[in-house]
Chain A
Amino acid sequence: MSTPAPTPAAAEAEDPGRLEAPKGKRKLSERARAERKLGWLLCAPAAIVMLLVTAYPIGRAIWLSLQKSDLRFPDQSEFIGLSNYVTVLTSSLWWNDVKNTLILTVVSVAIELVLGMLLALAMHRAIFGRGLIRTSSLIPYGIVTVVAAFAWRLAFADAEGGFMPDVLRSVGLIGEGTDPLAQTSTISTFVVAILAEVWKTTPFMALLLLAGLALVSDELHEAAKVDGASTWQRFWRITIPLMKPAILVALLFRTLDAFRIFDTVFILSNNGSNRSVETVSVLGYNTLLSRLNLGLGSAVSVLIFLSVVIIAAVFVKLLGANLDQQTGKS
């Protein structure tokens, strides 16, 4: 950290409401101006790096997506307008992958929300073993995603000697001679992908929810208890409404994260060769970096980017409405 002489004003800057300089005060004091300069100076490196490494490439992706640009045919590059987008949007493969991505996202986030809530409650209220629960649930969070995906693939792939096919067969969940990760077994491949994703990210969801749980005061619960509310009622009427912002934030993070799912699917599908669970990110990767078709691939990238923006906008709106509602009430 740098060591500027602390300013009295800064000590009070904890309150986000004080961020803006008071209006109507045209001339800033010497000190305020110095503070401003220092603030910009300190933020500049981070801001510049973030801008350069995200804004510039996304701009370039947009530009590339309007070109015919295939590194294997370097002489054939030309401007072709929106036709890459037409190609992508009229391709059944793109829509199929969008569908796969949405299924994976919605189902796994929904399951994570339920399991994460249970896990958060367990961490919050456990009489003993709280540390144990926390430690063991952090392990999936910390494990390299690729490694986790391999664990699931090697457990379920009949072709690679996994033990799960035999287990599933013995309880009759899959037929004799079915490989749960074969391309023909679309449903079970989805199930395994969802399992892997849920296993890996439920702890993160739980931690986000735990932070929300901590904000729910015990007094309210006690008061409701006195009034004769059951545990279930208290959970639905007190805990959930108070946690709503935390839940929305957790959902936002996880939904966006799940929507760009790549590692798990790439590994589970044997480096992308089982295409029954292919997601948009894997499609983008294949087009860009295996086919080296930068034009078409960039169109896919830009479309993924737009989808993410839309999802984020919807959540932010929900969240905003929710916060307004809450502040309106109080």
Chain B
Amino acid sequence: MRWVTAGAIAAYAALVLAACGGDQSAGGPVKLQFWAYNEPSGSFRSAAESCTKDSGGRYEISFQPLANDADTQRQSLVRRLAAEDSSIDIMSMDVVWTAEFAEAGWAAQWPDDLARQIKDESLAGPYETATYQDKLYAAPANSNTQLLWYRKSLVQGEPPETWDELIDTAAKMDKAGRIEIQGAAYEGMTVWFNSLVESAGGKILKGPQEADPGPSWTRAANIIAKLANSQAADPSLSSQKEDQNRIAFEAGDAAFQVNYPFIYPSAADVSEKFQNDIGWAPYPAVEKGKPSKAPIGGFNFGVGAFSKNKDEAFAATQCLRNEKNQKVAAAEGGLPPTIAKVYEDETFREDYPFADLIRKQIENGAVRPQTPAYADLSLAVATTLSPPGRIEGEEAREELEDKIEKALKSEGLL
């Protein structure tokens, strides 16, 4: 029996050792864990360091990287929050998660005085993304929006203003006339659809649990189908996400690209000449003369509902997204700020020659539906519309309505 006992003891010891990972030591600054995607320029990490220093020993923020892709980030946070994980003190939340996290009781609501402060200094669009039923559940940290990028050497005259113009212009060009846009069955598809719907004057939802189907939905589905079935579509459209768009555009396969500004600094790695050849224009409109409602992306920083040190976490969060740190994130990571003042900053304007356009789009952008069932809704939209061009017109509207209604009630397979 000795053999067995020894084995069992060894195994048990290993289990116990495995269990004893990570503990809070008493005394000294409060330790806070900041869970965010690993912003590549390192600006989140450096913000965590500088805030620790500025707190004068009140708290110590340790940066914990999450995956880069938003769906994966959400999954890993959500599974742990459902397990009431107290190690999530501060978390970066995609602008579309606010309602879900608030409703499920995973994100702590901000105290009124702090909420007012944040409202005063933030741009309206990003602020709205951080609220649910008029209460603030996160602090806007950075925003984002898509522009229409084009190759100046390939596009004669003024860039197209509407989707119809864009598709027609591109289809008339040769092979290099493609339009790069996100057509894979994922959240990016919902982003596109939502902007089309709002640009056409409609909305996806009336309220958190109620769909708002109308002619704008049909219109939006038709535009997606028109692009997908035109000469201008990339053959990989149905599997393309933001980065595949960038790669194809850099490879010279496309004249147009609808994407976030991260593609601009990246273009400099191809060649300076290539970067100089890139022009930008507002996100395409649905109707001529009626400005588009571009997607609003970005991240807010929230405080975990199960954190044991919420007061320190609120203070730290405020610091992480303050003017100084947003400037760094903008300058180094190219993340459009949410604090109005930063747009006046000289370095930011130098790196982002399109700063004014971005600010304008963010202020008038299309905030995505605010519902706790957003993830389901997004899945419903993305699967219905995928592969792009599969469905259009009234049929699309009806199928979307059915799937979205079910998604809002957390029913139905998606």
Contacts and interface: CB of A to CB of B under 8 A. Distances in A.
Interface of A: 1-3, 68, 70-74, 87-88, 91, 93-94, 157-161, 177-179, 181-184, 270-271, 273-276, 283, 286-287, 289-293, 296, 300
Given A181-B239, A182-B239, A274 B412 contact: no
B75 interface: yes
B3 A1 contact: yes
B414 A182 contact: no
B387 A184 contact: yes
Contacts of A72: 78, 100, 103-104, 372-373, 410
Given A2-B4, A73-B103, A182-B239, A91 B412 contact: yes
B184 interface: yes
B413 A159 contact: no
Contact of B413 (A70, A93, A179): A93
B247 A274 contact: no
A291 B82 CA distance: 12
Contacts of A94: 413
Contacts of B414: 93, 286-287, 291
B38 interface: no
Nearest to A161: B247
B239 A183 contact: yes
Contacts of B410: 68, 70, 72-73, 291, 293, 296
Give the residue among A87, A177, A178 with the most B Cβ atoms within 10 A: A177
Interface in B368-414: 372-373, 375-376, 379, 383, 386-387, 410-414
Contacts of A289: 75, 79
A283 B383 CA distance: 13
Given A72-B100, A177-B235, A292-B78, A183 B413 contact: no
A3 B6 CA distance: 14
A271 B387 CA distance: 16
Contacts of B372: 72-73
Give the residue among A271, A289, A292 with the most B Cβ atoms within 10 A: A292
B122 to A, nearest CB: 27
Interface residues of B, number: 40
B1 A179 contact: no
Contacts of A181: 239
A88 B413 CA distance: 7
Contacts of B376: 291
Nearest to A157: B239
14 contacts: A2-B3, A72-B100, A72-B104, A93-B383, A157-B239, A159-B236, A159-B239, A160-B244, A178-B235, A184-B238, A275-B386, A289-B79, A290-B375, A291-B410
Nearest to B186: A273
A282 to B, nearest CB: 12
The 3 closest A-B pairs by CB, nearest first: A177-B235, A183-B238, A179-B236
A273 to B, nearest CB: 5
A211 B2 CA distance: 36
Interface in B1-58: 1-4
Contacts of B239: 157, 159, 179, 181-183, 270, 273-274
